[in-house]
Amino acid sequence: MKKFLFVLLSLLFAAGIVTGCAEQNQDTSNNETAETTEQSGESESQEVVTVTISEDEGENVIAEKEVEIEDGAILLDVMKENFEVEESDGFITSIEGVSQNEEEGKYWMYSVNGEMAEVGANEYELNPDDEITFDLHAME
């Protein structure tokens, strides 16, 4: 009888250890899954803006690019990092080798989310999901 109780208690003890270890491994797996999900969420929520470069009010699209930005990014700096840009006093004079033409009165103008900008590119602070369009067209 003592031998039977000893075997029974040993089996119960072993079962308890196995069950406890299994729960600990499951908790560890759940934590790892949560961490992976958080990291994935961070990479998916990258802040980006869309920049379109065109001529004659969008008739000729020169380039279009989705660009990652950091918090507080200034438009002129982002343009210089991602496109071939020349500027004078904070105003862009050439993009991707296409220069403004003073004789024809064509200048680079930009809009953000469909609204004409009221400041130079050196002053505009970008927001995530902004849609920026630089267009070379005649001033009216």
For 44-57, the pLDDT digits (tens) are 557 999 999 999 99
Give 65-98 pLDDT, tens digit per residue: 999 999 999 999 999 999 999 998 878 999 999 9
Cβ neighbours, 10 Å, residue 54:
19
Q: Do 13 and 77 reside in the same domain of the chain?
A: no
Range from 33-42, 67-76, 128-137 carrying the lowest mean pLDDT: 33-42
Q: Do 19 and 75 reside in the same domain of the chain?
A: no
Q: 78 and 85 in contact (C-beta within 8 Å)?
A: no
For residue 79, what are its two tokens?
């343009």
Q: Do 37 and 52 reside in the same domain of the chain?
A: no
Q: Do 74 and 5 reside in the same domain of the chain?
A: no
Q: Do 73 and 85 reside in the same domain of the chain?
A: yes
Where residue 139 falls among pLDDT bands split at 50, 70, 90?
confident
**Summary mean pLDDT of the chain:** 81
Instruction: Please state the domain count of the chain.
Output: 2
**Range of the structural domain that residue 41 is part of:** 1-45
Q: Do 114 and 130 reside in the same domain of the chain?
A: yes
Range from 8-12, 81-85, 121-125, 135-139 carrying the lowest mean pLDDT: 8-12
pLDDT for 37 equals 44
Q: 109 and 119 in contact (C-beta within 8 Å)?
A: no
pLDDT for 88 equals 87
Task: Say whether pLDDT at 32 is over 60.
Answer: no
User: What mean pLDDT comes out for the span 7-30?
Assistant: 56
Edge-first strand listing for the sheet containing 98-99: 85-88, 91-95, 98-99
CATH code, domain with 76: 2.170.130.30
Q: Do 85 and 128 reside in the same domain of the chain?
A: yes
Q: Do 67 and 125 reside in the same domain of the chain?
A: yes
Q: Do 31 and 53 reside in the same domain of the chain?
A: no
